[in-house]
Amino acid sequence: MVVRGRRTDPIDRLPPNETGLEAQPSRFSAGTWAVILFIGSEAFFFMALFTTYFFLRARLPEWEPVFGEKPRWNVDPILGIGLPTINTIELLVSSVTMQLAVNAIKRGDRKALRNWLIPTLILGVLFLVGQGYEYTRLGFLPRDGIFAGVFFTLTGFHGAHVTGGVIFNSIVFFRTLKGQFTAQRHLAVEAASIYWHFVDVVWIGLFTTIYIVG
């Protein structure tokens, strides 16, 4: 498309329709409530998993893995920082970049939205790669005692949610390239942001529970 002698790409064009499910009303829309209810159900799901963790830890003497001790968590440290800590930093930074992306589209800046989504996606993928690598270096499997089973359950389900978040953010990214979001129409961006922050908060609790408290 050419406007007054210059070419514009889809990310610069405004959608003709500023109404619909993704329009941002002054109060919560039906779509926003759907996102809140979904995140609430996921929060209860993880609360049940954490409750199971602490219940088994307090009640069962066979809590440690079958080889007698929990693993050291400095899996192949980089500059003295263990892999779980690096994964945590990646998620924390990605949460910041995701929020910057939301702030950008609220100003109507779709190019900044695109630019902040890129590091968010990269950091999410790096987290998943790091978690997969950690699994190969732990030295135990889910069958090796109660602790091992609960560890893989908690981290595995969280990893599945991170995967869902990466897919969600990827969809938002490709829709951004097509110029489908504006300052008044960006429910999908905010929904992806809320979900990503939720995944981040869950990981902080999981990291504290498993890797610090033990």
Cβ neighbors of 126 (< 8 A, separation 6 or more) are: 90
H-helix or E-strand containing 6?
Answer: strand 6-7
- Is position 17 within any domain? no
Q: Residue 18, Cβ neighbours under 10 Å: how many?
A: 13
pLDDT score at 136: 87
CA dist 15 and 189 (Å) reads 16
- Is position 6 within any domain? no
Give how far Cα 140 sits from Cα of 11, 72, 99, Å. 48, 12, 37
CA-nearest of 97, 118, 114 to 105 is 114
- Is position 12 within any domain? no
Determine the structural domain holding residue 191 and report its residue range.
23-213
- Is position 10 within any domain? no
Number of independent structural domains in the chain: 1
The CATH number of the domain holding residue 95 is 1.20.120.80
Report DSSP state, residue 76.
S
Local confidence pLDDT in tens for the 214 residues of the chain: 444 555 555 555 555 444 455 554 445 567 778 888 889 999 999 999 999 888 888 887 666 655 545 555 666 666 556 888 899 999 999 999 999 999 999 999 999 999 999 999 999 999 999 999 988 888 788 887 788 888 899 999 999 999 999 999 999 999 999 989 988 888 899 999 999 999 999 999 999 988 887 6
Q: Are 100 and 116 in contact (CB under 8 A)?
A: yes
Report DSSP state, residue 67.
T
Q: Are 111 and 101 in contact (CB under 8 A)?
A: no
CA dist 172 and 86 (Å) reads 26
User: pTM, whole model, 2 decimals?
Assistant: 0.80
**CA dihedral of residues 204, 208, 211, 213 (deg, nearest 10):** -170
CA-nearest of 127, 141, 139, 144 to 85 is 127
Q: Are 196 and 166 in contact (CB under 8 A)?
A: no
pLDDT score at 25: 46
Q: What sign has the CA pseudo-torsion 135, 136, 138, 141?
A: positive
